[in-house]
């Protein structure tokens, strides 16, 4: 069975069947949804302990993050499992993790795919 199957306008994703893609040393992701026309995407991201984004992550149209496990740290402090973070349009951050973390990211679109 395919990891991603669609029916009409509905997509079903078996995340266990998707391979992790390394995007930087200590950072991997699984792309659950991607619309090349709008830049909208949904990602499952996993960072190893001690990872910090090497660049500033800018969100001209916002970003939604849900922490599944571990600790996600931004300029406002640490967030743990079960935390939902809404980064509004125009926000930026350079997050890190001391102990590793896995989180779901939804990017609303209309911005370049830069990670």
Does the pLDDT value for residue 22 go beyond 70? yes
User: 44 and 30 in contact (C-beta within 8 Å)?
Assistant: yes
User: 97 and 65 in contact (C-beta within 8 Å)?
Assistant: no
Mean pLDDT, residues 19-30: 96
Distance of CA 79 to the CA centre of its chain: 15
pLDDT value at position 111? 53
pLDDT value at position 6? 85
**Cα 99 to Cα 70: distance, rounded to the nearest angstrom:** 6
SS3 86: strand
Task: Note the pLDDT tens digit of each residue in 50-72.
Answer: 999 999 989 889 999 999 999 99
Task: Note the pLDDT tens digit of each residue in 58-115.
Answer: 988 999 999 999 999 999 999 999 999 999 999 999 999 999 999 999 999 875 554 4
pLDDT value at position 115? 46
Q: Which CATH class is domain 22-107?
A: mainly beta
């Amino acid at each position: 069975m395919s990891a991603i199957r669609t029916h009409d306008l509905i997509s079903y994703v078996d995340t266990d069947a998707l391979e992790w893609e390394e995007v930087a040393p200590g950072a991997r992701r699984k792309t659950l949804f991607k619309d090349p026309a709008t830049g909208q995407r949904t990602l499952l991201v996993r960072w190893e302990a001690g990872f910090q984004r090497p660049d500033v992550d800018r969100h001209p149209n916002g970003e939604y993050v849900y922490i599944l496990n571990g600790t996600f740290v931004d300029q406002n402090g640490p967030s743990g499992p079960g935390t939902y973070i809404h980064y509004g349009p125009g926000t930026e951050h350079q997050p890190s993790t001391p102990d590793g973390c896995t989180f779901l990211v939804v990017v609303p679109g209309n911005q370049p795919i830069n990670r």
